[in-house]
Amino acid sequence: GAGVSQSPRYKVAKRGQDVALRCDPISGHVSLFWYQQALGQGPEFLTYFQNEAQLDKSGLPSDRFFAERPEGSVSTLKIQRTQQEDSAVYLCASSLLGPPRGRKNSPLHFGNGTRLTVT
């Protein structure tokens, strides 16, 4: 596709349920990032993949959060035993190059996000 695609657009989960959020990056993009955006805040980094390798997961808030990109394209962010504080928009972004080379002049292309509401 032409852009980054995320599904589902909206997800309502009961506290304690597991959820899986999918991201289809732009074809050929090496780097893939997951961000969490709370209401009224800017995106916060969760994790970074270069191809299939997860090079940085320092932003994942707890061990209930797990991300994978097994074939270097589609990525899934899984949240186990969801809590109310997990309610947020989860944004996926891809870029042609990865850091450090691509830190400048390789801007992130974002999907429209998945809005997760935990009740």
* Contact set with another protein (CB under 8 A): 4, 40-45, 48, 56, 59, 91, 93, 99-100, 103-104, 107-113
Q: How far is the CB of 15 from another protein (least distance, A)?
A: 25
Amino acid of residue 80: Q
> How many CB atoms sit inside 10 A of residue 54's CB?
16
Q: How far is the CB of 6 from another protein (least distance, A)?
A: 8
Output 33 or 82, the one with its CB closest to another protein.
Answer: 33
How far apart CA 74 and CA 85 sit, in angstroms, is 26
Q: How far is the CB of 44 from another protein (least distance, A)?
A: 7
How far apart CA 119 and CA 108 sit, in angstroms, is 31
